[in-house]
Amino acid sequence: MFEFHPSKVATVKNDVLSGLTVALALVPEAVAFAFVAGVEPLVGLYAAFMVGLITACIGGRPGMISGATGALAVVMVTLVADHGVEYLFATVVLMGFLQILAGVLKLGKFIRMVPHPVMLGFVNGLAIVIFLAQLSQFGVAGEPGWLNGTFMEGSIVDVAWLEGDQLYMLLGLVTITMMIIHFLPKLTTAVPSSLVAIVAVTLLVFGLDLNTRVVGDVASIKGGLPTFHIPSVPFSFETFWIILPYSIILAAIGLIESLLTLRLVDEITESRGRGNKECIGQGVANTVTGMFGGMGGCAMIGQSMINVNSGGRGRLSGITAALSLLLFILVGSALIEKIPLAALIGVMFIVVIGTFEWSSFRILRKVPRSDALILITVSGVTVATDLAVAVVVGVIVSALVFAWDHAKHIRIESKEDHKGSTVYAVTGPLFFGSVTSFLEHFDPSTDNDDVVIDFARSRVADHSGLEAIDTLAERYVNAGKTLHLVHLSAECRKLLKKAGNMVEVNVIEDPKYFVAEDALA
């Protein structure tokens, strides 16, 4: 006899229903991103199916949805335009290998270096990007700013917007969708409110014979099974050097977006995904996708939020979404193409509202100005360029702020001991940000003939610190003074030894001052 536990049955039901909801939202997104990249719609749909299925099975974050994304598509468009789609497939394969290598080398842990203000900026920036992408559906197809019925990024000012009854119809259907999603959970959570909203609005449109744009107006999603296909490119170093830069950029963007989305889902579900395993899962997925005619992909924050908010927390939700998408392509295209775009716009608007960290407005005046600046900067760069650039900018600005703050923390106190030596006690790290202040505290011309610098409460952090010590030693030697470095940390002595001839520190070894032999050059 089989024993069914209610909790397990409920979990399976939630995963299946939420996966189906996600699959419906994946269709227009995958088609739109395929157009942005300059490839056929099925290339985007195949990527959404294969990347979504493989990462759901072997990735490091159950419940996270992956597929074709706009962050990758905007990088691919130049490659496709200059060299053709076959080079794109080869690039995606190499991109996958690089991501697998990142996972094997356990580089996923470096996502911890992303500060919280950068994380908030990433979330807010992506919410704005998702919102702007939905605004494209409020334009008139065929007018400037549109290509094959799909809005092209960067041309929002050129779009001819809907007017009159068409605009009011679209706004009304979007509002109904959002109201169902918002209020239905207050009555029942038996089924995902997003799925109910999509079905209800679709029935309303066809029941009342309303004239509004549907998925089929964007593109046909009918197709067959993806087939194995080795990219038709010359296997030469010339080809390798063409695709390598794109592969590195795509691999970096894909991993950054996936790992940041993983962290976001971790916070919502109060669980912990495995970053390095996710790197390998994304890599395997993209390698396979490139061999089956897909455009590659990574984690999708919008669809991941739909899935999690609809109750999908397990791997079954991602598997269901991918398999449902394949069924849509094979046998259900006629039905899916009849879904009003207004219903999917409404779902994504709810995602935007739920994704944006509205609390960031409240905390802007409570956090340090540097953190507020980083949050706003990352949000703006995410909207203006792409996620990878925004995160890199955010991390660099955070590092510079950290360096500036800690450069102020170095303190140097001087006194004369009972032997007549000038003793300097250094407190704080010696690194590139503090070396100028460090050197300003010493005056070889006025110090006694015997000088001691005590590093008991300091450490040398980088090569700039080593050079500062070398410069200071040279000054005292030129002044005819004797310099002792005492209480150097083991790390500092190791740095000095490793530097070798790069740093010619000239100090006097004196056991009474505990000067390490390997600190001498």
Nearest to 130 by CA among 24, 262, 25: 25
Q: Of 362, 378, 394, which closes a domain?
A: 378
What whole-number distance in Å separates Cα of residue 123 and Cα of residue 375? 10
Assess whether 77 and 213 both reside in one domain: yes
Q: Where residue 426 sits, what CATH number does that domain have?
A: 3.30.750.24
> What CA dihedral angle connects 391, 283, 34 and 315, to 10 degrees?
-90
What whole-number distance in Å separates Cα of residue 108 and Cα of residue 427? 34
Assess whether 374 and 418 both reside in one domain: no
Q: What is the mean pLDDT of residues 360-381?
A: 84
Assess whether 339 and 470 both reside in one domain: no
Cα distances from 348 to residues 38, 128, 354, in angstroms, run: 24, 11, 10
pLDDT at 241: 94
Assess whether 25 and 162 both reside in one domain: yes
**Could you report the per-residue pLDDT of 90-140, keeping only the tens digit for each?**
999 999 999 999 999 988 777 777 787 887 887 788 788 778 777 777 766
pLDDT at 336: 83
The answer to whether 487 touches 513, Cβ cutoff 8 Å, is: no
Assess whether 186 and 110 both reside in one domain: yes
Q: Of 378, 395, 424, which closes a domain?
A: 378
Lowest mean pLDDT among 254-268, 328-342, 346-360: 346-360
Assess whether 348 and 446 both reside in one domain: no
Q: Of 360, 378, 396, which closes a domain?
A: 378
What whole-number distance in Å separates Cα of residue 149 and Cα of residue 338? 15
**Could you report the per-residue pLDDT of 156-194, keeping only the tens digit for each?**
445 567 778 888 898 999 999 999 988 988 887 777 788
Assess whether 370 and 419 both reside in one domain: no
What whole-number distance in Å separates Cα of residue 255 and Cα of residue 248? 11
Q: What is the DSSP string of 273-316?
A: --HHHHHHHHHHHHHHHHHTT----EE-HHHHHHHHHTT--SHH
Question: What pTM did the predictor assign?
Answer: 0.68
pLDDT at 8: 60
Asked whether residue 314 is assigned to any structural domain, the reply reads yes
3-state secondary structure of 139: strand
Assess whether 300 and 435 both reside in one domain: no
Asked whether residue 401 is assigned to any structural domain, the reply reads no
> What CA dihedral angle connects 305, 310, 313 and 315, to 10 degrees?
-90
Asked whether residue 344 is assigned to any structural domain, the reply reads yes
Q: How many domains does the structure of the chain reveal?
A: 2
Assess whether 315 and 427 both reside in one domain: no
Helix (H) or strand (E) holding 38: none
Position 218 pLDDT exceeds 80: no
Residue 478's domain spans which residues? 411-519
Asked whether residue 404 is assigned to any structural domain, the reply reads no
Phi, psi (deg, nearest 5) at residue 328 = -60, -45
Q: Long-range pairs for 126-130 at CB < 8 Å and ≥24 separation?
A: 126/301, 126/302, 126/355, 126/382, 126/387, 127/352, 127/355, 127/356, 128/352, 128/356, 128/379, 128/382, 128/383, 129/70, 129/382, 129/383, 130/301, 130/302, 130/348, 130/351, 130/352, 130/355
Assess whether 368 and 273 both reside in one domain: yes
- The distance of Cα 363 from the centroid of its chain, to the nearest Å, equals 23
pLDDT at 364: 82
Assess whether 295 and 420 both reside in one domain: no
Asked whether residue 432 is assigned to any structural domain, the reply reads yes
Asked whether residue 394 is assigned to any structural domain, the reply reads no
Assess whether 100 and 21 both reside in one domain: yes
Asked whether residue 324 is assigned to any structural domain, the reply reads yes
Q: Which residues contact 365 (CB under 8 A, 6 or more apart)?
A: 372
Phi, psi (deg, nearest 5) at residue 134 = -75, -30
Asked whether residue 399 is assigned to any structural domain, the reply reads no
